[in-house]
Amino acid sequence: MRAPLFLAILASLAAPAAAVEIDGRVDPSEWRGARRVADFRKVQPLNGEPGSLPTEAWVLATPEGLAIAFRNVQPPQVPRTRQKVQRDFEDQVDRVNLMIDFDGDGRTGYNFTVASTGGVADAVISNENQFNDDWDGSWRHAVAEDADGWSAEMLIPWHIAPMREGRDGTRTVRLYLDRVIGSSGERMAWPVASFERPRFLSEFAPVEMPQYSQSLLAFTPYASGLYDHVRGDGEFDGGVDVFWKPNGQFQLSATVNPDFGQVESDDLVVNFSATETFISDKRPFFTENQGIFEFTTPSDYSQLLYTRRVGGPADDGRGAGDITAALKLNGNFGATKYGLFAAEEADEVGRSFYALRLVRDFSEQNLGLMMTRVERPHLDREASVFGVDHNWRPTPRWNVRTRLVGSRIEQAGGTVDDSGATVWADYEMDRGWRQQWIAMHFGNHLQLNDAGYLSRNSTNYLHWQVQRRFTDLPAGSRYASKDWRGRISTNRNDRGEKLNDQLRISRESRLRDGSYEYAQINLNSAGVDDLLTRGHGSLRKPANFAAYAEFERPRKGDWAHYAEAELLSGGLAGNDKIGYSLRYRATYFLSDAFSVYAGFYADLNPDWLVWQRENLIGSFRGRELDLDAGLDWIMDDRQELRIKLQAIGLDAQVRRAYRVDAGGRAVPSDEPVGDFGVRNLGFQVRYRYELAPLSYLYVVYGRGGYEQDTFGEDAGRRLRDSFDLRDDEQLLVKLSYRFER
């Protein structure tokens, strides 16, 4: 009795699957022979209990791609979210997720999200649980709704990502499927895996399926025209992106004369610190299959290849670099993956960027190598970086990640070498307990920022963290889960100076109505600030603290709210002077497709230290006021209009000037240091029409400006005056169209 059934199932898997019509309606005849998944269990809150609403999914490999269907029962007593969402949305709405690791090695995954109203999001997953939604893939989806619930279907083409060759006509991928109920925030999944745990990708369920392969050749030419109202002139440009995948083991991406005009506006940032602000990259060429080049450390945002460097500020300080062409190769030889990257900027100040990546997978671990090189002729500088990364999963409870990096800088006839290493280990215990250990060492002369991003070098950092998750809360509690964390850490630079010791206590909470809370307090010991004077001495600073709270309430009725607040001390005054910051944003939904939002940010820093020159610093009473407003209108499935306004007013009144002496003490100085202020404006109106998948018409109007002065105006007046700024005022029209075969 059992043998014929087994042979029938095997035959159905080996036989070519019939085409599935992606219309959102789960037709049993189309999904005959698919793998059915019905054991969806709660992962938010993370208690593994059966989901509160019946959910089924079907998985079917077809020659056209991997087909996934969801059937989501949702009775009338459970409110349905009708909100229209933009691509790569983060709104709390009814939705389903397919996450897949095509190679099954826990190195890189892809997330495909479909909302009940048809909106989509996609992202690349790396480092077990890090999501990057800058990537946009070409895949099909559809949704349908009835009185009992809603359903969704997806078709993910085999050419969407590089994947290694299978064996004997089959391949084993790892899958994760989940459903989120928008009104409560409950997430139910198969298997029981969570991105709130250190191990996520490697916990996906292995699924064997027939091996299919697709080839793809895609050209995306563009043409753009820009008129500058300030200069009174215009310019036209054009170029092309090429994507070629002859089989599953090789992909080539290339771009010639790429247009990186700002159709996506970055948030305004006023930064007087010695640490560079990290900005993610949304440019299509640099996000396409970029996951292979992920090489990060526990240091915030660190990576060996930070693609915003390409086309970033030119080495002569005159505008941005002009990219002539760039090339990227991805593929694999058996269990070894590789990636090659090259980009060239024009003119005599142009830079050349190169990167090589190799990754080898083993059963419980994987090992990687990465090298980058940047040639900067204008600075007579060549920078080379070498890195080795190792991920080890010795048991289901342990996850250990190790990184070794080294840099060599050759400039003006001299050579500087240095190195760094990081280890972080996570241990999952019983009854919701976890522990984490992190150790980092970055040498004084380790330099990654020619091609990569590192917030600071000269670091020796250790921390131990213990966590406890509570999910068995009483039914009458307004909370669905609480996650408490305690951390102790110590940090010294590579010259032996103590930066600080810290005690951190935090709590992350999810409420039964879908809201989110987070609170944190940091108690910091006395230490030194070795970055403030930009290499002219370390400043001793007293003990200080910071207390932070955040609350997000998703849409209920016509409103959604977000708020955060912080109390903090610092500067030379330590705990004698307390500053604060407040942020609030409200969104009002005129309809499910049209919303407006407005918010503000205000802060007071009573002892703000700002570097002037050499070892001269100023202590200021700083105040900042920001305005953030806009609207989002999703006209239909192809058209959207977005308006975004940001304005900043900053006022800094000098309290005292200081020189930092050889012992790190702040010595009062009579040298003139004056008040200053900043006005900053960013305004954009963007219309987008989707002609076809990954083919768009953009019409973008933008205006902005930045001004720093010494006038005696307060932050509120500067905020109002920022609307007069007009350093830039441009109208951009861009058309890109993707041709495939």
- Residue range 83-96: mean pLDDT, rounded: 95
Model confidence at 467: pLDDT above 60: yes
- Residue range 240-257: mean pLDDT, rounded: 90
Structure confidence by residue, pLDDT tens digits, 203-224: 999 999 999 989 999 999 999 9
Q: Which contiguous run of DSSP H or E holds residue 9?
A: helix 2-14
Which distant-in-sequence residues (6+ apart) come within 8 Å of 135 by Cβ?
122, 123, 124, 287, 288, 289, 290, 291
Tell me how far apart the terminal alpha carbons of the chain are, to the nearest angstrom. Answer: 47
- Residue range 457-472: mean pLDDT, rounded: 97
- Residue range 434-443: mean pLDDT, rounded: 97
Residue 159 CB-half CA count within 13 A: 19
Residue that has been written with the tokens 């900005």 in this structure? 279
Residues of the chain with CATH 2.60.40.1190: 13-216
Cβ atoms of 369 and 346 within 8 Å: the answer is no
Cβ atoms of 67 and 154 within 8 Å: the answer is yes
Q: What is the structure's pLDDT at 10?
A: 39
Model confidence at 7: pLDDT above 60: no
> Percentage of the chain surpassing pLDDT 90?
84
Q: How far apart are CA 714 and CA 694, in angstroms?
A: 46
More confident residue, 13 or 124: 124
Q: What is the structure's pLDDT at 638?
A: 93
DSSP state of 167: B
Model confidence at 620: pLDDT above 70: yes
Q: Which contiguous run of DSSP H or E holds residue 400?
A: strand 398-411
Question: Poorest-confidence range of 237-251, 340-354, 512-526, 629-643?
Answer: 237-251
Q: What is the structure's pLDDT at 11?
A: 40
Question: Poorest-confidence range of 123-127, 502-506, 697-701?
Answer: 123-127
Structure confidence by residue, pLDDT tens digits, 158-185: 999 888 888 888 999 999 999 999 999 9
- Cα 67 to Cα 25, 436, 592, 709, 737: the distances in Å are 13, 38, 29, 59, 26
Structure confidence by residue, pLDDT tens digits, 282-309: 888 888 878 889 999 988 899 999 999 9
How does residue 259 score in pLDDT terms, banded at 50, 70 and 90?
Answer: low
Residue 498 CB-half CA count within 13 A: 13
Report the length, in residues, of the chain.
Answer: 741
Burial 541-552 (b: 16+ CB within 10 A, else e): bbebbbbbebbb
Q: What is the structure's pLDDT at 575?
A: 96
Model confidence at 281: pLDDT above 90: no
**CA torsion sign, 718 to 719 to 723 to 727?**
positive
DSSP state of 284: H
Structure confidence by residue, pLDDT tens digits, 377-418: 999 999 999 999 999 999 989 999 999 999 999 999 999 999
- The topology (CATH level 3) of 13-216 is Immunoglobulin-like (2.60.40)
Cβ atoms of 401 and 423 within 8 Å: the answer is yes
Cβ-count burial of 55 within 10 angstroms (0-12 exposed, 13-18 middle, 19+ buried)?
buried
How does residue 260 score in pLDDT terms, banded at 50, 70 and 90?
Answer: low
Which distant-in-sequence residues (6+ apart) come within 8 Å of 578 by Cβ?
567, 568, 569, 606
Structure confidence by residue, pLDDT tens digits, 332-382: 887 899 999 999 999 899 999 999 999 998 878 889 999 999 999 999 999
How does residue 8 score in pLDDT terms, banded at 50, 70 and 90?
Answer: very low
Q: How far apart are CA 392 and CA 697, in angstroms?
A: 46
Q: What is the structure's pLDDT at 13?
A: 42
Q: How far apart are CA 353 and CA 333, in angstroms?
A: 25
Q: What is the structure's pLDDT at 613?
A: 96
CB atoms within 10 A of CB 269: 11
Cβ-count burial of 403 within 10 angstroms (0-12 exposed, 13-18 middle, 19+ buried)?
buried
Q: How far apart are CA 522 and CA 278, in angstroms?
A: 23
- Cα angle 524, 530, 533 (rounded to 5 degrees) comes to 125
The candidate with the shortest Cα–Cα distance to 353, out of 326, 374, 324, is 374
Cβ atoms of 239 and 222 within 8 Å: the answer is yes
> Percentage of the chain surpassing pLDDT 70?
97
Sheet bearing 149-156, strands edge to edge:
35-37, 55-62, 65-73, 149-156, 140-146
- Cα angle 112, 115, 119 (rounded to 5 degrees) comes to 80
How does residue 2 score in pLDDT terms, banded at 50, 70 and 90?
Answer: very low
Q: What is the structure's pLDDT at 18?
A: 54
Mean of pLDDT over the chain = 93
- Cα 532 to Cα 94, 154, 261, 575, 618: the distances in Å are 47, 52, 34, 19, 11
- Residue range 519-530: mean pLDDT, rounded: 98
pTM for the predicted model, two decimal places: 0.91
- Cα 331 to Cα 112, 137, 335, 406, 492: the distances in Å are 22, 17, 10, 26, 41
Q: How far apart are CA 365 and CA 143, in angstroms?
A: 39
